[in-house]
Amino acid sequence: MSKIKTLGLVFILIAIIVGGYFAKIYWPSWLKDITYAHAQYFGFTPLLFVAVVGVVFLLFFKLRKRPQHARDSRQKTGGPDSIWILFSVLTGVMILALVGPKLDIFTMVQSQDNVNIVWGVDRSVSQAVTDVPPSRQELMIKEITTFVNSPAIRGGDRLTLFTFSEKSNWRMPLSDDRGEFLDKLHEVEQPKDRVYYDRSQLYTYFGRLLTHIPEALAMQAGFFQKGSGESVSWNNYPTVVFILSDGECIDDSLVTPLSYLAKQNIKVYTIGIGTLDGGSITVKVPKEEDPNKLEQIRVISKLNMRSLDIISEATGGKSYVVSGPSSQVQNFMAAAVSGARRPTLSLVKTGEAQNFWWNLLAFPAFVIVLLIVIKFVRS
């Protein structure tokens, strides 16, 4: 029996060094989403861990070294020592009660019919064409800026910006900061010297943009809903998408992304910028065979609503054409945003917390009293 005691002491010493350290670190981290009134009582957890490991170890060796007995013997395997297991569990619950855990109180809040507004802005070479003065690019930026500063955008509405040509780029996540959005919008420019070092700007692919938009929005929503943005209250507002382009593309892969957007009830409103007569522009781009050298090419572009109409019709949106500075596109965009607004309900923290540690303390207390009563009755 002395050998068993020696092994038990050695094991307990190891448990104090290793188990105590890990128990103190990791047990509170499991419960980090709960606030506590007296978190310092978590300091008892290493002692509880050592006690539990010691009890389990000694009971294990006691069972291993028990005397042989007949098959029909009524000898108890655990005996009175099994009460230590229950005692360890109750002690753990009581420690948890001492730290005073609290649950945040939530209340149901109805939003002010806010929406997410997604802007997809064409940045291909053809946007520098001047068939609509001063150019397609400048007119597009002007109309978006006017709309963002209008009463059609309410406080709390969230804006996000994508630019696209052959590739799609997410310029900023959803935000209710209009100033930040406008800063990002005005960074979208055509080079003054008409030298395009990125050949991808020669082409337009709507499929890349339409696939990128739901992926990016889902990533941002997941980021906040998983608690990475604890200081921000995230609500899933209805989403409306505006795509502004001259419509000229070489993209035939619209079926899959449009089907997904339709299932998500995300309507896409397309705005064609340009005229049927179109225009041309001479630019310089790197040669395909030698990117270190520039070649001069002439780009001819006309308004083509075919793909833009397909996109809007497939998602339940509408199309509009801007062929001059006096168009009614502001009314078109305002009607689209207004039609997407609807009340949304969400749970919001009230800043208060409800104690539930009395409930935790009541359970072990009841069990202990019950055991005392049973012991008294049997005696």
Partner residues linked to 354 by β-bridges:
103
Grade residue 103 by pLDDT with cuts at 50, 70 and 90: low
pTM over 0.75: no
Q: Are residues 130 and 154 in the same domain?
A: yes
Does one domain contain both 232 and 256?
yes
Nearest-10 Cα torsion for 130, 134, 138, 144: -110
Residues 218 and 98 in one domain: no
Tell me which H or E stretch contains 285. Answer: strand 279-286
Rounded alpha-carbon distances, angstroms, from residue 146 to 137, 150, 151, 195, 339: 14, 6, 10, 29, 19
Averaged pLDDT for residues 12-21: 56
* pLDDT for the residue numbered 231: 42
What does the CA dihedral 187, 193, 199, 203 come to, rounded to 10 degrees?
Answer: 70
Q: Are residues 100 and 123 in the same domain?
A: no
Q: Which domain holds residue 210?
A: 112-343
130 and 269 part of one domain: yes
* 72 belongs to a structural domain: no
User: What's the total number of domains in the chain?
Assistant: 2
Alpha carbon distance 313, 254 (integer Å): 12
**29 and 163 belong to one structural domain:** no
Residue 298 inside a domain? The answer is: yes
Write down how long the chain is: 379
Q: What is the pLDDT of residues 45-70, one digit of tens each?
A: 777 777 777 777 776 666 666 666 55
Six-digit token string for 185:
């919008």
57 and 31 belong to one structural domain: yes
Q: How confident is the model at residue 202 (pLDDT cuts 50, 70, 90)?
A: confident
Same domain, 190 and 328: yes
Helix (H, G, I), strand (E, B) or coil at 189: coil
CATH number of the domain encompassing residue 210 = 3.40.50.410
The answer to whether position 262 is within a domain reads: yes
Q: Are residues 242 and 336 in the same domain?
A: yes
Give the least confident one: 29-38, 167-176, 197-206, 224-233: 224-233
Highest mean predicted confidence (pLDDT) among 33-37, 66-70, 103-107: 33-37
Would you say residue 83 lies in a domain?
yes
Check if the beta carbon of residue 268 is closer than 8 Å to that of residue 261: yes
Query: To the nearest whole percent, how much of the chain has pLDDT over 70?
Result: 68
C-alpha span between 67 and 65 (Å, rounded): 6
Query: Within a domain: residue 62?
Result: yes
Task: Write the burial class of residue 10 (CB in 10 Å: 0-12 exposed, 13-18 middle, 19+ buried).
Answer: exposed
**Which amino acid is located at 4 in the chain?**
I
Most confident of 11-25, 81-95, 208-222, 361-375: 208-222
> Do residue 268 and residue 137 come from a single domain?
yes
Residues in contact with 236: Cβ distance below 8 Å, sequence separation at least 6, in sequence order: 221, 344, 346
